[in-house]
Amino acid sequence: MAMNGTQMSIASVLDYIKERGGFGGFCRYKYNYDLDHALRVVEAIGRSRNPKFVIDDENRFAYTNFIKWCHGDESMRALNPLTGQEQAGDLNRGIYIAGNTGSGKSWCLEVMLAYSQAMGFAVSFDDGAKEVDRPLFWAITRADEVCQAYVAGGEIQRYKQRAMIGIQDLGQEPKEVLYMGNRLNVLQQLLEYRGDRTDQLTLITSNLRISSDTLKRDYGDRVQSRLVEMCNYFEIKGRDRRKGI
Ligand SMILES: Nc1ncnc2c1ncn2[C@@H]1O[C@H](COP(=O)(O)OP(=O)(O)O)[C@@H](O)[C@H]1O
Ligand SMILES: [Mg+2]
């Protein structure tokens, strides 16, 4: 079939596009579970790493809804990144966890990754031609490591292409790095790129709230608005847990 000006049905136009790669995307699976049990399992995973690990009032919203997100539970909630109000979550978006240094953001991404691996969750990715199940697994990379990769090789293709990525410490990296005379805000470029893709999941931890002036100043409006669209937003409250109570 060629687009030769003759009238085509809507269905055949869509088939034509799909045959040629379409827009790609993914499909989340739903896994039945008991939320209280899942919270106990996640807490046990955290305790196996640090006996002081707790799910408490400061992080319960993040852990509860992260668990729901993993299980494909449509009752998942998130915060509106601009107003802070609770709203419906979106299983087709990634996750952004904001909070103070030491509040437990990185651990949340890591403990939930361990949970996801232990449970064997999968996502069905559709590249337009075929559907492939892949583990719900976000390779964890620090933002400054992405910058180092650019400094070393002048490109960050592998971070752009990963179907899922977990970026730790957005905002802690240099905002401008050089490769052979080219200056680049590496994370700005990565997030703008991933923000335009509909077939990827991006998980992020940061000391910066999405709504913060610092985030807007360092990455621009485009990144800020893409983050709002790309991620379910959580905040972990509280001060530095490394310092004890
Ligand atoms: N839920 C938790 N309960 C108790 N201690 C925690 C918890 N999460 C993390 N911690 C402790 O706090 C420290 C800082 O956590 P981390 O996730 O690295 O903070 P952040 O990424 O927010 O700076 C960790 O070394 C860990 O020992
Ligand atoms: Mg951290």
pLDDT-based confidence at residue 109 (cuts at 50, 70, 90): very high
Residue closest via CA to ligand 1's atom 15 equals: 104
In order of start, what are the domains of the chain with their CATH numbers? 23-78+87-239 (3.40.50.300)
Whether pTM exceeds 0.85: yes
For ligand 1, whether the C-beta of 97 sits within 6 Å is no
Average pLDDT, integer, range 6-17:
82
Whether residue 20 is predicted with pLDDT greater than 70 in this model: the reply is no
Buried b / exposed e along 61-96 (16+ C-beta atoms within 10 A): bbbbbbbbbbbbbeebebbebeeeeeeebebebbbb
Question: Percent of the chain scored above 70 by pLDDT?
Answer: 94
pLDDT-based confidence at residue 15 (cuts at 50, 70, 90): confident
Most ligand 1 atoms within 8 A of CB, residue of 50, 59, 61 to mutate: 50
For ligand 1, whether the C-beta of 46 sits within 6 Å is yes
pLDDT, residue 175, reads: 95
Question: For residue 98, which ligand has an atom nearest its CA?
Answer: 1
Whether residue 1 is predicted with pLDDT greater than 60 in this model: the reply is no
Average pLDDT, integer, range 98-121:
98
Q: Got the DSSP string for the chain?
A: ----SS---HHHHHHHHHHTT-S-EEEE------HHHHHHHHHHHHHHH-TT----TTTHHHHHHHHHHHTT-TT-EEE-TTT--EEE--TTSEEEEEE-TTSSHHHHHHHHHHHHHHHT-EEEEE-SS-EEEEE---EEEEHHHHHHHHHHHS--HHHHH-SEEEEEEETSS-S-EEETTEEE-HHHHHHHHHHT-SS-EEEEEESS-TT-HHHHHHHHHHHHHHHHHHEEEEEE-SS-GGG--
Average pLDDT, integer, range 55-76:
98
Measured CA to CA, the distance from residue 194 to residue 222 in angstroms comes to 12
Average pLDDT, integer, range 12-36:
83
For ligand 1, whether the C-beta of 106 sits within 6 Å is yes
Measured CA to CA, the distance from residue 1 to residue 15 in angstroms comes to 10
Residue closest via CA to ligand 1's atom 8 equals: 104
pLDDT, tens digit, for every residue of 38-59?
999 999 999 999 999 999 999 9
**The two three-digit tokens of residue 88, written as one number:** 């419906």
pLDDT, tens digit, for every residue of 190-206?
999 999 998 999 999 99
Whether residue 23 is predicted with pLDDT greater than 70 in this model: the reply is no
pLDDT-based confidence at residue 2 (cuts at 50, 70, 90): low
pLDDT, residue 231, reads: 98
pLDDT, residue 197, reads: 92
pLDDT, tens digit, for every residue of 146-167?
999 999 999 999 999 999 999 9
Query: CA-CA-CA-CA torsion for 144, 146, 149, 153, nearest 10 degrees?
Result: -130
What's the chain's average pLDDT? Answer: 93
Whether residue 19 is predicted with pLDDT greater than 90 in this model: the reply is no
